[in-house]
Amino acid sequence: MAVVVDTIHGRLEGLQEEGLQSFRGIPFAKPPPGPLPPELFFAIETDRVFRIPAVRLAEAQSAHQAQRPRTWAYLVCWESPLMGGSLGACHAIDIPFVFGSIGRRGAQRFAGSGPDAERLSARMMDAWLAFARGGDPNHADLPDWAPYDTERRTTLIFDREPGVSLAPFDAERSAWDGLL
């Protein structure tokens, strides 16, 4: 599948070719004049439609909470086994985990199964419940997860093992400045 560079430029006027080079470490020296690697197209579209709007919302929300920070960010890196794993950590992968439905028909094919999936689901459900109960998603089965701010951009990574990352994919985030 080939995607034309003009498709990206048409959707994101102002995105320079240098900006394309920062996305997810996808290697190429200079964007080709014709077909764009599908992995690059999907990385850019994922950022444009999902990740960057969520980052902008977290930035705006945290700006109003200097006295009592209550904004948390997370990133789900669990990859779907569906379609031979080609979907990666796709949109909606978190839903079966958050709602404890990984063992249900369809969800199992989409999100996977087994002890790692069950642990991830328990951690995500407990984080959402803790947040709903007291406004803080931290619990005993997660690393210390600080609120989000624009200096550190603390983000919990939900995957087989949870981890905290400061400013994940920051080069990609910066490429969007002034565009979204």
Does residue 106 form part of some domain? yes
- pLDDT exceeds 70 at position 12: no
Count of structural domains, the chain:
1
Helix (H, G, I), strand (E, B) or coil at 87: coil
Q: Return the pLDDT at 116.
A: 97
Q: Return the pLDDT at 59.
A: 96
Does residue 116 form part of some domain? yes
Q: What range does the domain containing 99 cover?
A: 3-175
pLDDT (tens digit per residue) in 65-84: 988 899 999 999 999 999 99
Burial of residue 19 (number of CB atoms within 10 Å: 0-12, 13-18, 19+): buried
- The whole-chain average pLDDT of the chain stands at 85
pLDDT (tens digit per residue) in 118-146: 999 999 999 999 999 999 999 999 999 99
**Pick the residue with more confidence: 130 or 19?**
130
Does residue 165 form part of some domain? yes
Cα separation of 36 and 15, whole Å? 14
Does residue 131 form part of some domain? yes
Does residue 143 form part of some domain? yes
- pLDDT exceeds 70 at position 19: no
Does residue 11 form part of some domain? yes
Does residue 37 form part of some domain? yes
Share of the chain above pLDDT 70, in %: 79
Does residue 180 form part of some domain? no
Q: What is the mean pLDDT of residues 36-61?
A: 86
Q: Return the pLDDT at 18.
A: 55
CATH number at residue 9: 3.40.50.1820
pLDDT (tens digit per residue) in 88-102: 899 999 999 999 999
User: Are 44 and 17 spatial neighbours (Cβ–Cβ below 8 Å)?
Assistant: no
